[in-house]
Structure 1
Amino acid sequence: MILNDPAVVAEVEAAFMVYEKALNENDVAVLDACFKDAPETIRYGIGENLYGFGEIAAFRAARPSAGLKRTIERTVITTYGDAFATANTLFRRESMAGKIGRQSQTWVKFPEGWRVVAAHVSAIAE
């Protein structure tokens, strides 16, 4: 298994940045497309535990769009072979004064492309 093949890292970085742009613009259709449409897909958020793509999509459709813009830092993408990767980043939002957010994602490459199959978002005191 090749760890961090530059071509694979570039693919995952591109997918990650599509997600990041969609998040900042609250482009729900693109955000949904970044996640694997499957009952096994999980997203633990700051205030919610979402099991299955249906719960994730319903959450995104219902949440307010205000205060989603953020800046990211210390992003680390690690690839394992050519079809599995993790992406971890810290983020800051004006609406989260005194806190820093943490996000981890597990990405898998399917025939339709790279998709998040598990995600975790949390915030801690600065």
Structure 2
Amino acid sequence: MDVNLPDVLADVTAAFERYEVALVTNDVAVLDELFWNSPHTLRYGATENLYGFDEIRAFRAGRPSAGLARTLGRTVITTFGRDFATANTEFHRAGSDRVGRQSQTWVRTTEGWRVVAAHVSLMA
């Protein structure tokens, strides 16, 4: 299996970075675009479990837009072949000593790279 083919790694990294900008600016349209529009998509958040694209979209639409800024720590993106990747990062928010963790599973679809599973958690 080809791991971290340079062109694939560059594509997934760009998608991840686009997601990050959309997240901290609350660009819900881009966030929705980057999640796979499927009932099989899931997102486990720090305080919620969301099953299917519709639940994820509803959460994003109702989420407060304040306090989203964060600083990323160590980020590891790994691609497997040409159509599958994982992205994991640590993050910190101003005023909090908790370390956040975010994991995403990305798949190349006919529309482009999409998150099919995500998990966000906070360490004490």
What TM-score range do you get, normalising by the shorter chain? over 0.9
Q: What is the Cα deviation at residue 88 of structure 1?
A: 0.1
The reply on whether 1:46 has 2:46 as its aligned counterpart is yes
* Separation in 2, partners of 1:91, 1:32: 21
User: Alpha carbon RMSD of aligned pairs, Å?
Assistant: 0.7
Equivalent AA in structure 2 for residue 100 of structure 1? V
Q: What is the Cα deviation at residue 94 of structure 1?
A: 1.8
- Percent identity, aligned pairs only, is 65
Q: What is the Cα deviation at residue 53 of structure 1?
A: 0.2
Q: What is the Cα deviation at residue 90 of structure 1?
A: 0.2
Report how many aligned residue pairs link the two structures. Answer: 124
The reply on whether 1:59 has 2:59 as its aligned counterpart is yes
Q: What is the Cα deviation at residue 111 of structure 1?
A: 0.8
Q: What is the Cα deviation at residue 56 of structure 1?
A: 0.1
Q: What is the Cα deviation at residue 73 of structure 1?
A: 1.4
Helix, strand or coil for the counterpart of 1:98? coil
Helix, strand or coil for the counterpart of 1:99? coil
Q: Match of 1:112? A: 111
Helix, strand or coil for the counterpart of 2:99? strand
For structure 2, list consecutive stretches of 5 or more residues without a partner in the other structure: none
Alignment of 1:1-126 (within 5 A): 1-94=1-94, 97-125=96-124
* Separation in 1, partners of 2:68, 2:34: 17
Q: What is the Cα deviation at residue 104 of structure 1?
A: 0.1
Equivalent AA in structure 2 for residue 42 of structure 1? L
Q: What is the Cα deviation at residue 36 of structure 1?
A: 0.2
